Each structure stands twice: as structure tokens, then as C-alpha cells.
Structure 1
Amino acid sequence: MSFLVWVPVAIWLGSQGQTGWALFVVVWGVVLLVGTDTFIKPMLIARSGHLPLLVLFIGVIGGMAAWGFTGMFIGAITLAILWTVLQAWLGPNEERMAPVA
């Protein structure tokens, strides 16, 4: 949602002849804000939920591709639930890794 702020600001700056500032706002918005939403948020969610980062990253990107902005949350939550159910169904790691006698 932050693009609703920085995109109009960049357009306004460009229309006022402030090309350097407009370019700075666009680069700042794309690199810092979009980069944070795409990479940092999944890392923080994975750390708090004990999920593999790759599972959460695929959920975020896949959700955004399927449903847009709200899909970022829908995809991550859906894959987190599916991952948790799968782990509970398979059982603890010790039971899966124990040698068969």
C-alpha cells in the first residue's frame, strides 16, 4: 500500500521539473519499501512461526501472483497452515529419523 504514497509523489515531482528527486523517490520506493515487503517480512514471519523461509517466501510470492496485494497474506497463511498440518501428520522428526529395528 505504500506505493499509493510514493508513486503520486514521484509523479508530482517529475511534473514540477524535479527529475532527480522524482528518480530518488522511485528508487527508494522500489528498493526499500517493495524490497522490505518482499524479503524482510517473510523472514520475520518464518522466524516467529518456525517455518522454513522458502515455504513462506513461495507463499508470499505465489499469493501475490494469484490474488494481488491481499494474496501476499492469503498465500503465506495458507502455506503456513498446510505446512503445520503436514508436519503434524508426519509426526515429530525423531520418529521419522529413527532407524527401523
Structure 2
Amino acid sequence: MKKHVSFFEKHIKPKFRKDTNTVIGETMIALAYPSLIIIGPPPFFEDAVIDVKKEGLNIEPDKYSLFQFLVENPEFCKIAIESYSGLFKLWHEFISAEGDD
């Protein structure tokens, strides 16, 4: 699971780590708690919506960074990567560059 967090650490630039959304490759990821919304590039804008609700966790809209959420809840990193083909492709490139499978 640590590798999955490392993927987001590599792809979310420090200056954007306080934002509620980011773009990795051509894929936008937004934290709209209790969901992660993943939107692919035009012209099709294929998307995925992932339920990330956790009992006892209340997040106001636009008040919690995507990066912080993923670091604190690493179990959702893998789910996000595997739920969208564009991220999954970048994940394989990342792993290949790291020398792991």
C-alpha cells in the first residue's frame, strides 16, 4: 500500500497538495467527500466515482486536501488507481520505473 501512496506523492506536486483536486496525466481526481471523483480526458470524459466514506469522519466540502486525505487513508489509493484505466496505465509505468512489479 505504501507504493500506492508513493505514486500520488510523485504525481501531486507540492504546490498542489493543499487542493481538493489534481490532474495526473490527463485524468482529474477530486475529493468530494464522501466520494472520490475521477474524470478522464476529452472527448469522452469517462469517469469513476468511488465511495470513500469512513465512519466518524466528517469533511466539509472544499476544506480538506485530496493529498492529505489519500496519505491519511492509503487504502483508497489502490482503489483509485485500479478504478480508472488512465491511472492504472500510469501506475504500471511508475512501478516499472521503480523496478518492482
Q: What TM-score does the superposition give when structure 2 sets the normalisation length?
A: 0.23
Q: With CA pairs under 8 Å and 6+ residues apart, which has the higher RCO, 1 or 2? A: 2
| TM-score normalised per structure 1 | 0.23
Structure with higher Rg: it is: 1
Structure number having the greater strand percentage: 2
